[in-house]
């Protein structure tokens, strides 16, 4: 779906359009982060609409086809043609499933390790997870305890490898050949892989922590193996992968939240946007636009699944006809400690490997990111470049990687940066809007960052002033936070939607303020005191800013601000789109936006030529690369296509 722009709908007019796994295909198109890259989702949706509209027939194949997806495709087609349902009466063989009801995944991990120890030669254990981190931790744990076991790990980092690609394409051949004893799969193998061979896979294990997959996705991953061998499953009670625009489980409420956040954000940005962008957002048909309607339905369904993930999965597996046995299990403290140590070891090993990875140029990274399949080495090189670019570092150390905490620190820094540098939040959001506008295909409001709105809320509460006092060495206790907490309680509905933090009567003033500070990565130190002015003799917890941690944060913020100043251009005006002259846009990440004269400098032209050369003979990649280069630059180089 990410490569739809390389297809000319006219070449397929009058033909049959077959959409296999239609629900997941459309969901990927509407929600995937890769489809949002460079603001191209509106263009992808427009191209998809054209393909659906001009096809003679649209054939859908999906065991979980729902009315929402069907009505969406009918709306795109727009001809009110009747729908014909071809029912497949085939019923997959039901399997026996032992479902472990345990507080954490230590119980099922222990069972898996026991099964490996007792494994019959020639048999394979298939393990499905919903987390790349879980799959990597299991692989390391198995290799530590059973080094003789041959393990194939399939996740987003490895699926570009030669052996991994072979399994994804011909799993039965690989399994029949007997190359592996254990297959570990993340959601990368949830769709498109069907294991039909019999007598080889002895058991299927499912370990689901709730960080990505819904109950429908989990059911699919457990069904990759068609033979009805025993399943052993553990799933977290609730998930954490809620839709970013709203955590509501009601479609209409999700739409209301999306509309109100978008409207408020545009109001905050209005003076910085060109009128055609504002008019385009105001013209959105919130109640009837098929893309918005289906996105909100997907978001509500995802939230419902996350809210009661274990129960939803149990209900689904029973509905599918499987025989379930629920087994209560306790946590294993020893194994829990071992898993914690394993994760720490993995983080250190990954950090050391990242430091030793080749450092690429921005041109090479852009070329790699246009490719659909990447080797593990290429994934690591891209990851290293983004770390260096974000933190504005010349070289990368192990400490830098560990402090980043798999990108969580970057998210906190972006939130803090938006709070302390008012223009940054506005510029990032305006730039994202302008990227969508350049495709001239409308807007996808759910891809719009609400950073300006989040900042407005924090300023209204007084968090910006509070941070200033913290930096000056202020020490406080619970009595000092009431003014901030009262203001937060008054804005509780808006905070719940925009900051994903529910303020109830059970939440103390201290908890409210500290939670809001934590979202910006601010750490505190605490100690007891009986000598606070105005509260002499009362034993109170007092808090101050963690100066060591703040020093690291402020150093990063200073480097990033210096980089923005270096890269700041006088103005950036798109060809009929974007902000008016005088509104300065600065890329928070990567290379600066360039004016026409800068594009035509010898150094820049050399970079463009290198980028085109890196695409090689891959026409799809070359087309994507050319989309990122202004047409006049291609003409200047003699590379423009008719």
Residues 521-570 pLDDT 10s? 999 999 998 888 888 888 899 999 999 999 999 999 999 999 888 887 53
Do strands 540-545 and 182-185 pair parallel, antiparallel, or not at all (unpaired)? Answer: unpaired
- Position 580 scores a pLDDT of 34
Round to whole Å and give the CA distance between 576 and 439: 11
Same domain? 514 vs 602: no
Same domain? 179 vs 320: yes
* Residue 241: closest CA among 155, 311, 306, 313: 306
Same domain? 134 vs 220: yes
Round to whole Å and give the CA distance between 445 and 434: 12
Residue 146 lies in a domain: yes
How many alpha carbons lie under 13 Å from residue 177 in its C-beta half-sphere? 11
Round to whole Å and give the CA distance between 508 and 489: 11
Same domain? 317 vs 355: no
- Position 89 scores a pLDDT of 81
Residue 415 lies in a domain: no
Residue 68 lies in a domain: yes
Q: Give the mean pLDDT of 219-234.
A: 94
* Residue 354: closest CA among 382, 373, 375: 382
Q: Note the pTM of the prediction, 2 decimals.
A: 0.83
The tokens for 220 are: 């699919």
Residue 261 lies in a domain: no
Cα 179 to its chain centre, rounded Å, is 33
The tokens for 458 are: 């924090």
Question: Strand order in 124-129's β-sheet?
Answer: 151-154, 182-185, 124-129, 201-208, 230-235, 96-101, 323-328
- Position 577 scores a pLDDT of 40
Task: Decide which of 545, 573, 604 is a domain's last residue.
Answer: 545
- Position 574 scores a pLDDT of 40
Phi and psi at residue 99, to the nearest 5°: -105, 115
Same domain? 455 vs 375: no
Round to whole Å and give the CA distance between 42 and 623: 18
Q: What H or E segment, with its residue span, contains residue 328?
A: strand 323-328
202-211 pLDDT, tens digit per residue, is 999 999 999 9
Round to whole Å and give the CA distance between 76 and 182: 44
Task: Decide which of 374, 406, 438 is a domain's last residue.
Answer: 406
Phi and psi at residue 232, to the nearest 5°: -125, 120
Round to whole Å and give the CA distance between 272 and 251: 32
Helix (H, G, I), strand (E, B) or coil at 111: helix
Residue 552 lies in a domain: no
Cα–Cα distance list, 489 to 247, 265, 543 (Å): 19, 21, 21
* Residue 577: closest CA among 268, 229, 277, 311: 277
Cα–Cα distance list, 156 to 36, 184, 380, 514 (Å): 18, 12, 11, 35
Round to whole Å and give the CA distance between 575 and 266: 21
Same domain? 52 vs 154: no
The tokens for 51 are: 């393909």
Average pLDDT, the chain: 87
Question: Are the C-beta atoms of residues 60 and 33 closer than 8 Å to each other?
Answer: no
- Position 583 scores a pLDDT of 31
Is the per-residue pLDDT at 579 higher than 50?
A: no
Question: Are the C-beta atoms of residues 614 and 364 closer than 8 Å to each other?
Answer: yes
* Residue 451: closest CA among 520, 521, 501: 520
Same domain? 58 vs 110: no
Q: Give the mean pLDDT of 246-257.
A: 95
Round to whole Å and give the CA distance between 421 and 436: 24
Round to whole Å and give the CA distance between 462 and 483: 9
Task: Decide which of 378, 406, 434 is a domain's last residue.
Answer: 406
Q: Domain range spanning residue 515?
A: 451-545
The 10 Å Cβ neighbour count of residue 150 is 11
Q: How many domains does the chain have?
A: 5
Phi and psi at residue 544, to the nearest 5°: -140, 165
Residue 100 lies in a domain: yes
**Site of tokens 């360039």:** 594
Same domain? 133 vs 182: yes
324-367 pLDDT, tens digit per residue, is 999 999 999 999 999 999 999 999 999 999 999 999 998 888 88
Residue 280 lies in a domain: no
Same domain? 320 vs 182: yes
**Burial level of 358, CB count in 10 A (0-12/13-18/19+)?**
exposed
**Using the 8-state DSSP alphabet, how is residue 358 labeled?**
P
Higher pLDDT, 375 or 198: 198
291-329 pLDDT, tens digit per residue, is 999 999 999 999 999 999 999 999 999 999 999 999 999
Residue 276 lies in a domain: no
Same domain? 184 vs 323: yes
75-88 pLDDT, tens digit per residue, is 999 888 888 888 88
Same domain? 36 vs 170: no
Q: Describe the chain by its helix, strand, coil percentages, rounded to 5.
A: 55, 10, 35
E strands, 389-545, are 524-529, 540-545
Alpha-carbon radius of gyration of the chain: 27
Question: Are the C-beta atoms of residues 152 and 181 closer than 8 Å to each other?
Answer: no
Same domain? 316 vs 189: yes
């Amino acid at each position: 779906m990410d490569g739809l722009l390389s297809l000319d709908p006219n070449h397929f007019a009058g033909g049959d359009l077959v959409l296999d796994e239609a629900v997941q295909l459309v969901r990927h198109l509407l929600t995937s982060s890769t489809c949002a890259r460079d603001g191209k989702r509106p263009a992808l949706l427009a191209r998809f609409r054209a393909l659906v509209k001009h096809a003679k027939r649209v054939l859908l194949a999906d065991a979980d086809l729902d009315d929402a997806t069907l009505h969406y495709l009918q709306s795109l087609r727009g001809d009110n043609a009747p729908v014909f349902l071809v029912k497949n009466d085939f019923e997959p063989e039901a399997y026996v499933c032992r479902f472990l009801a345990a507080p954490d995944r230590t119980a099922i991990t222990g069972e898996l390790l026991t099964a490996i120890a007792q494994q019959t030669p020639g048999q394979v254990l298939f393990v499905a997870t919903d987390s790349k981190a879980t799959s990597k931790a299991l692989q390391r744990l198995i290799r530590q305890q059973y080094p003789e076991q041959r393990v194939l790990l399939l996740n987003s980092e490895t699926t570009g490898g030669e052996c991994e690609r072979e399994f994804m394409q011909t799993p039965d051949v690989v399994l029949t050949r007997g190359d592996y004893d254990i297959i570990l799969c993340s959601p990368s193998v949830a769709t498109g892989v069907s294991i039909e061979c019999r007598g080889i896979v002895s058991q299927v294990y499912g370990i689901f922590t709730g960080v990505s997959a819904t109950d429908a996705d989990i059911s699919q991953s457990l069904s990759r193996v068609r033979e009805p061998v025993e399943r052993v499953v553990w799933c977290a009670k609730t998930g954490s992968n809620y839709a970013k625009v709203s955590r509501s489980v009601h479609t209409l409420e999700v739409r209301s939240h999306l509309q109100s956040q978008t409207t408020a954000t545009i109001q905050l940005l209005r003076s910085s946007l060109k009128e055609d962008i504002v008019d385009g957002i105001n013209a959105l048909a919130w109640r009837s636009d098929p893309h918005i309607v289906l996105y909100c339905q997907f978001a509500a369904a995802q939230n419902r699944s996350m809210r009661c993930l274990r129960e939803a999965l149990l209900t689904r597996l029973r509905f599918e006809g499987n025989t379930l046995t629920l087994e209560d299990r306790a946590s294993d403290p020893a194994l829990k400690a071992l898993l914690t140590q394993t994760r720490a070891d993995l983080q250190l090993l990954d950090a050391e490997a990242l430091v030793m990875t080749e450092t690429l140029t921005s041109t090479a990274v852009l070329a790699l990111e246009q490719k659909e399949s990447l080797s593990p080495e290429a994934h690591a090189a891209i990851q290293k470049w983004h770390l260096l670019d974000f933190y504005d570092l010349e070289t990368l150390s192990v400490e830098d990687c560990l402090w980043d905490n798999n990108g969580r620190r970057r998210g906190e820094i972006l939130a803090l940066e938006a709070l302390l540098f008012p223009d940054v939040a506005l510029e990032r959001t305006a730039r994202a809007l302008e990227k969508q506008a350049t495709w001239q295909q409308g807007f996808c409001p759910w891809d719009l960052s609400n950073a300006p709105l989040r900042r407005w809320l924090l300023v209204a509460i007084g968090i910006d002033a509070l941070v200033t006092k913290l930096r000056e060495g202020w020490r406080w206790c619970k009595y000092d936070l009431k003014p901030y907490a009262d203001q937060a309680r008054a804005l509780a509905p808006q905070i719940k939607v925009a900051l994903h933090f529910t303020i109830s009567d059970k939440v103390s003033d201290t908890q409210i303020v500290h939670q809001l500070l934590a979202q910006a990565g601010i750490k505190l130190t605490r100690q007891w005191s009986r000598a606070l002015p105005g509260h002499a003799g009362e034993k109170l917890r007092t808090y101050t800013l963690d100066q060591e941690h703040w020093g690291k944060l402020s150093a990063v913020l200073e480097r990033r601000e210096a980089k923005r100043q270096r890269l700041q251009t006088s103005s950036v005006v798109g060809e009929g789109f974007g902000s008016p002259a005088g509104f300065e846009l600065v890329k928070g990440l990567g290379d600066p936006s360039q004016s026409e004269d800068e594009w035509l400098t010898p150094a820049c032209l050399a970079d463009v030529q290198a980028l085109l050369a890196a695409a090689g003979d891959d026409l799809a990649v070359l087309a994507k690369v050319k989309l990122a280069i202004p047409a006049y630059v291609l003409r200047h180089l003699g590379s423009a296509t008719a």
